[in-house]
Each structure stands twice: as structure tokens, then as C-alpha cells.
């Protein structure tokens, strides 16, 4: 048998069960013209064909979980399929209708403007994985845009979602990154300097891509019937442990969404991830990181840092705002399911619990970052507060700081050690480590003294503590400039850097000394370069 036929056979053996389109109401309209879609959760729409699909990279471990071999992923049949050129018999391509609050304002219907769900793959372990192409062409939800994605943003989505997965942060995943062969016009900084960029498609996967905005759209239209259908469907398929949907179950479900959202944001804070566009249409009901756009990674610790140029003025989506914005978004979700619950009180209670819960989870995470056994209110409120202050005394690289902090020797006699010696292990984390002012050194040393005293209370030995800390504080994150370097090379036809980053980010907590330079501070040239510290929504 020809190789080509055997790959095709392997693909055709994949099992699909398209519960979303089979069980939920669809759009009665046809075609791709932009329109308002009422009383329907999705519109059937086929991906637009592309001229020359070619694979740049795929995620082997995810592919094998889905039942796809590496050889198959490198075949032409795979590129044809995951660029949308050829579909499999069991697929049922569709775009989902949703709405959302963008930057705090209700924006009405948005929907999958360039994402097309191919179908729900059921793997051999009976897991359900929706396969979605991002950048697959126009849908009824494209509004005035083109339905496409460029290489730059697709590299960012592929690498970051995979990096997040390996960091242990809940996220949608990326199966493949494929060049389409087409060029796409983009005005990257909305300043009239539009240019052609290579087009690309990422196939991403998740148990489902439903968002807060998926429910909001029906509530906003007083369409309680479709609202209930979608919520019931979500509970039955994504939260089966909650049992038969009913009022009580709706509440339990909402509490679970609050819980998983709190856990998600705590992870973001832990690794220094800033989503950049936490609009309600970009919030997953499953508590996954979703829609990688103008996200960024904290380099210098700064609660007010936002990577998104559109957000520069109000900093709504800055690092330190993320927990509060997630709470605001949950409140919008609560409002949208209110018609099914009828009583605002228990929803309000759940939102209060979110805030409390977030705080506790955050404290527990922070003391783990510091290598402490558990949060002790008498000492640790102050310790954490002073830490946040200490991190802003001089430009301090958050990722490096915690890795270096793990080297702290808690077995010293604090009376016999001077400030310089105390600070020394941390110097690598400072962008200007040369001449830190005397009073700042004093403040750093004061904090380190309290920290060491606190460690001494716990009595964990240095080695064990370091191991614990290095399991929660990554050495390698997708520093903003690292993806930009990979993008620059990819745009020139060289994909090695994408592969290298993908590999090393599979083990973010390991030392990997051969990749040390990837764990270093951002170089000075990247400080103010587009793509390295400033990103727009253009993608
Ligand atoms: P975002 O906040 O970037 O996730 O996107 C907001 C909305 O704009 C979503 O409905 C997207 O589907 C849509 N959108 C973004 N880029 C495009 C594009 N190039 N073509 C069509 N729709 C888009
Ligand atoms: Mg989005």
C-alpha cells in the first residue's frame, strides 16, 4: 500500500462524536456572510482552502494522546487536514456563536470569527477533544475582519500554550502549526503601516472551547431557552460528576467555575503570565487559559505591567489586576445564569467565596514559592507584603529571583553575616546589579533576614527546600523576546528556534545547563522593541 493511502486510513480510523452540533440548535442561515445569529449555538461553516499547507511543528505527546503517530503528523495528509483543505468523514465543521464584554463594555455578538471547530475527537481513552483550526478563513462571525491568522501570532499561540501546559497551568493545547502558503495583510500597530505577513493556522484542542461569553450572548437576548440548553449541555459533557442539571446543580456548577478560575489565575500569578485581554469572551468555562493574543511574561516584577498596547492607558489587564478582573468576569457570568437560578443571593455568595478562596490559594502558592511549609498568618502576611515591596525596589527579574532565592542558606547565623553577603545570591536577578543604592541594599537585607528567620522556624534543610522551590518556580519561561527571535527567524524561513524553544520549555523546572542563556535576563535591545514588550491585538 502507498504511504499516502495508509496515512489516510489511519486518519479515517479516528472516531468523532459531535455532540455540540448534534444536540444543540444550529444557525438556519447558510454561507459565510456576516450576520447576527439568533437562537443558535453555532453555524456550520467549512474552512477556506489554502494553496500550500506545510507543517512547521507539531506537539508529539498531544498527537499521540489523540491517536496520531509522529510519521503521520509529518505527512502531507496531516497538513492537508489541519490546514482545513481536506476533512474527514466524521467531522462537522462549525463556528460558535458567543458574545462578550470587551474592556468592560458589552460588545454584543462576537463568535468564532476565524476559528472553526472540526469536530469532537474521542480518543482510545474515551477523552473528548474538540479540534479547532485558528485562522481557517471567514465565518458568519468574522464581522469586518478576514478570518485569517499570521505566522507571528500563531507561533506565539503554539509555543505559549505548550509552555503553559508543561508548566502545569491549565490551558488549551496546540497540536500543530501550519503555514498556509498565503500572505495576509496586517497593520501590526494600527498606525497605517500595513504589511504582508505569512499566513498560518494552529490546530488547537480542548475538551471544549465554551466561554463565559457563550452563555452571556443568550442572556443578553433574553433567550432563556437556548441559555438553558447550552448550560445543560456543558454540565452533562464537561461536568458530568455534577449529575442531572437542575437549579441546585447550576449553582454547584457556578461554584466550580469560580474555583477553577481562581486556581487558574493563581497559576498565572505564580509563573508571571499576563493574559493581556481578559475579555469575557476570552474566559474559558473550563478554567483553561484560552486565546493567546497580546499576552506577555513578567520580566521585571511590576503589578501594573501590561503587554497589551491597547491597554497601556487604563491597565485594566495588567499583571496585578488579573484576580480582580477574573472576579468581575465571574460576576458577568453570574448575571447571565441568573434567569435559570432566580435568586441572586447564592450567586453573590459564590462570588464572595471566589475572593476569599483566591486569597487563600494565592497565599498558599506564595509560601510554596518561598519554600515554606504552610502559611502562618502571624508572620506571613507581613512577609509577603514586604516581599512585593522588595521586588520593586530595583528592576527585579521575577523568574530569576525565585530560582536564586532557592540558594538562600538558612543555616547561617544572622548575627555574623553582613548585608552584602546576604544579597549576593540574588544579584543575578537585578537588571542593574552594579550599584544598588545603600538604603535599598539595607531594605533587601532586612527582608532576607526576616525570611531566613522564618525558614529557621520551619526547619527544612537547605537541599530539600531548594528542591521543593525549584519544582514550583520555573527556570525557563517563554520570555517575550525569545518568541520574537523565533518569529524573526521563522519569517525568514528558519524554524530551528521554534523547535528549540518548544523542546526546552517541555522541562521548565529542570536545570538544563545547555540552555542557560534562555534563562537569562532580557537583553537590553529587547527592552522597548515591538513584539518583545509591546504587543497589539493585531494577529
Ligand atoms: P480576541 O479578543 O482577539 O480573542 O477576538 C475578539 C473577536 O474578534 C473574536 O470574536 C474573534 O473571533 C474576532 N477576530 C479576531 N481576529 C479576527 C480576524 N482576523 N478575522 C475574523 N475575526 C477575528
Ligand atoms: Mg478571543
Q: How many domains does the chain have?
A: 3
**pLDDT on residue 3:** 79
Give the separation between CA 439 and CA 40, rounded to whole angstroms.
Answer: 63
* pLDDT range class, residue 1, cuts 50, 70, 90: low
Of 27, 112, 232, 281, the active-site residue reads 281
Q: What is the reported pTM?
A: 0.98
362 and 450 co-located in one domain: no
217 and 359 co-located in one domain: yes
195 and 218 co-located in one domain: no
Whether the CB of 113 sits within 6 Å of ligand 1? yes
258 and 354 co-located in one domain: yes
133 and 237 co-located in one domain: no
Q: Inform me whether the pLDDT recorded for 401 exceeds 90.
A: yes
Domain end among 209, 238, 267: 209
E-assigned strand segments in 215-338:
273-274, 296-297
**pLDDT on residue 366:** 98
Instruction: Quote the domain boundaries for residue 165.
Output: 3-209
Whether the CB of 256 sits within 6 Å of ligand 1? no
Is residue 187 a part of any domain in this protein?
yes
Whole-angstrom CA distances from 450 to 71, 409, 411 are 55, 13, 14
H helices present in 292-430, as ranges: 322-341, 344-369, 377-390, 398-405, 419-423
Ligand 1 atom 8 nearest Cα:
113
Domain end among 369, 387, 406: 369
* pLDDT range class, residue 382, cuts 50, 70, 90: very high
Is residue 521 a part of any domain in this protein?
no
Question: Over pLDDT 90: what percentage of the chain?
Answer: 94
Mean pLDDT of 367-383: 98
348 and 440 co-located in one domain: no
Is residue 510 part of the annotated active site? The answer reads no
Whether the CB of 294 sits within 6 Å of ligand 1? no
Q: Work out the number of other CB atoms within 10 angstroms of the CB of residue 107.
A: 15
Mean pLDDT of 332-348: 98
**pLDDT on residue 414:** 94
Ligand 1 atom 6 nearest Cα:
110
Predicted confidence (pLDDT) per residue in 206-232, tens digit: 999 999 999 999 999 999 999 999 999
Give the separation between CA 203 and CA 277, rounded to whole angstroms.
Answer: 21
* pLDDT range class, residue 442, cuts 50, 70, 90: very high
Q: Inform me whether the pLDDT recorded for 141 exceeds 70.
A: yes
Which grid cell sits at 154?
A: 500563531
Contact 526, 480 (CB under 8 A): yes
Whether the CB of 139 sits within 6 Å of ligand 1? no
150 and 283 co-located in one domain: no
Q: Inform me whether the pLDDT recorded for 177 exceeds 70.
A: yes
∠ CA 505-510-514, rounded to 5° = 75
**pLDDT on residue 504:** 98
Is residue 272 a part of any domain in this protein?
yes
Q: Please report where in the chains the cell 527556570 appears, as a residue.
A: 475
**pLDDT on residue 434:** 82
Mean pLDDT of 276-288: 98
Mean pLDDT of 509-516: 98
Is residue 482 a part of any domain in this protein?
no
For the residues of 455-524, what is the DSSP string, one character each?
HHHHT--HHHHHHHHHHHS-S----HHHHHHHHHHHHTT--HHHHHHHHHTTSTTS--GGGGGGGSPPPG
Mean pLDDT of 125-138: 98
360 and 389 co-located in one domain: no
Lowest mean per-residue pLDDT among 94-98, 427-431, 434-438, 490-494 = 434-438
Is residue 59 a part of any domain in this protein?
yes
**pLDDT on residue 536:** 87
Is residue 246 a part of any domain in this protein?
yes
**pLDDT on residue 534:** 81
105 and 217 co-located in one domain: no
Predicted confidence (pLDDT) per residue in 231-249, tens digit: 999 999 999 999 999 999 9
30 and 171 co-located in one domain: yes
The CA 147 to ligand 1 mean position distance, Å, reads 8
Q: Inform me whether the pLDDT recorded for 85 exceeds 90.
A: yes
Which grid cell sits at 165?
A: 501546559
487, with CB counted inside 10 A (0-12, 13-18, 19+), is: buried
181 and 239 co-located in one domain: no
In terms of Cα–Cα distance, which of 427, 415, 492, 396 is closest to 456? 415
Q: Which residues pair with 116 in a beta bridge?
A: 133
Give the separation between CA 23 and CA 233, rounded to whole angstroms.
Answer: 8
**pLDDT on residue 397:** 98
Q: Inform me whether the pLDDT recorded for 27 exceeds 60.
A: yes
The residues near 523 (Cβ < 8 Å, ≥ 6 apart) are 481
Return the higher-pLDDT residue of 2 and 95. Answer: 95
Is residue 472 a part of any domain in this protein?
no
Is residue 199 a part of any domain in this protein?
yes
* pLDDT range class, residue 388, cuts 50, 70, 90: very high
363 and 387 co-located in one domain: no
Round the average pLDDT of the chain to a whole number and report it: 97
In terms of Cα–Cα distance, which of 437, 435, 403, 441 is closest to 421? 441
Whether the CB of 107 sits within 6 Å of ligand 1? no
Indicate which ligand has the atom closest to the C-alpha of 111. Answer: 1
Domain end among 209, 229, 259: 209
Amino acid at each position: 500500500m502507498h504511504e499516502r493511502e495508509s496515512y489516510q486510513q489511519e486518519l479515517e480510523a479516528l472516531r468523532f462524536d459531535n455532540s455540540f452540533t448534534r444536540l444543540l440548535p444550529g444557525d438556519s442561515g447558510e454561507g459565510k456572510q456576516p450576520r447576527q445569529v439568533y437562537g443558535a449555538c453555532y453555524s456550520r461553516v467549512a474552512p477556506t482552502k489554502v494553496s500550500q499547507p506545510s507543517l512547521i511543528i507539531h506537539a508529539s505527546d498531544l498527537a499521540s494522546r489523540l491517536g496520531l503517530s509522529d510519521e503521520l503528523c509529518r505527512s502531507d495528509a496531516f497538513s492537508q487536514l489541519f490546514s482545513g483543505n481536506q476533512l474527514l468523514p466524521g467531522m462537522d465543521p462549525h463556528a460558535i456563536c458567543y458574545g462578550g464584554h470587551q474592556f468592560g463594555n458589552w460588545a454584543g455578538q462576537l463568535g468564532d470569527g476565524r476559528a472553526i471547530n472540526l469536530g469532537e475527537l474521542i480518543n482510545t481513552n474515551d477523552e473528548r477533544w474538540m479540534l479547532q483550526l485558528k485562522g481557517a478563513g471567514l465565518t458568519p462571525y468574522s464581522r469586518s475582519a478576514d478570518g485569517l491568522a499570521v505566522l507571528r501570532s500563531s507561533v506565539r499561540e503554539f509555543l505559549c500554550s505548550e509552555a503553559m501546559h508543561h508548566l502545569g497551568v491549565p490551558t488549551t493545547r496546540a497540536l500543530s502549526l501550519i503555514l498556509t502558503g498565503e500572505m495576509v495583510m496586517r497593520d501590526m500597530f494600527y498606525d497605517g503601516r500595513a504589511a504582508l505577513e505569512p499566513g498560518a493556522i494552529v490546530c488547537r484542542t480542548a475538551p471544549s472551547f465554551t466561554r463565559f461569553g457563550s452563555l452571556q450572548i443568550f442572556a443578553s437576548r433574553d433567550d432563556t431557552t437556548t441559555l438553558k440548553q447550552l448550560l445543560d449541555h456543558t454540565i452533562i459533557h464537561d461536568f458530568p460528576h455534577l449529575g442531572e442539571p437542575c437549579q441546585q446543580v447550576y449553582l454547584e456548577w457556578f461554584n466550580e467555575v469560580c474555583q477553577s478560575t481562581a486556581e487558574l489565575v493563581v497559576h498565572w500569578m505564580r509563573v508571571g503570565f499576563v493574559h493581556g485581554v481578559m475579555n469575557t469572551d476570552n474566559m474559558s468555562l473550563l478554567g483553561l487559559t484560552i486565546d493567546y493574543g497580546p499576552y506577555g511574561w513578567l520580566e521585571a516584577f511590576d503589578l501594573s505591567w501590561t503587554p497589551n498596547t491597547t491597554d497601556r492607558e487604563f491597565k485594566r489587564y495588567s499583571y496585578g489586576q488579573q484576580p480582580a478582573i477574573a472576579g468581575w468576569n465571574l460576576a458577568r457570568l453570574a448575571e447571565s445564569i441568573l434567569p435559570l437560578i432566580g435568586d441572586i443571593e447564592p450567586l453573590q455568595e459564590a462570588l464572595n467565596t471566589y475572593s476569599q478562596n483566591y486569597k487563600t490559594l494565592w497565599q498558599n502558592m506564595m509560601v510554596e514559592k518561598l519554600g515554606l511549609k504552610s502559611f502562618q498568618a502571624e508572620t506571613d502576611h507581613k512577609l509577603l507584603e514586604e516581599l512585593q515591596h522588595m521586588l520593586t525596589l530595583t528592576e527585579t527579574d521575577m523568574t530569576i529571583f525565585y530560582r536564586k532565592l532557592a540558594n538562600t542558606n538558612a543555616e547561617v547565623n544572622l548575627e555574623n553575616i553582613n548585608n552584602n553577603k546576604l544579597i549576593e545570591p540574588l544579584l543575578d536577578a537585578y537588571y542593574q546589579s552594579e550599584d544598588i543604592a545603600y538604603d535599598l541594599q539595607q531594605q533587601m537585607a532586612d527582608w532576607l533576614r526576616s525570611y531566613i528567620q522564618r525558614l529557621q522556624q520551619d526547619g527544612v534543610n537547605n537541599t530539600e527546600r531548594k528542591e521543593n522551590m525549584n519544582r514550583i518556580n520555573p527556570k525557563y519561561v517563554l520570555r517575550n523576546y525569545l518568541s520574537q527571535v523565533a518569529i524573526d527567524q521563522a519569517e525568514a524561513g528558519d524554524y530551528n528556534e521554534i523547535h528549540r524553544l518548544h523542546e526546552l520549555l517541555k522541562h521548565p523546572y529542570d536545570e538544563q545547563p545547555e540552555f542557560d542563556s534562555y534563562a537569562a535576563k532580557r537583553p537590553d535591545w529587547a527592552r522597548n522593541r515591538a513584539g518583545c514588550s509591546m504587543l497589539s491585538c493585531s494577529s
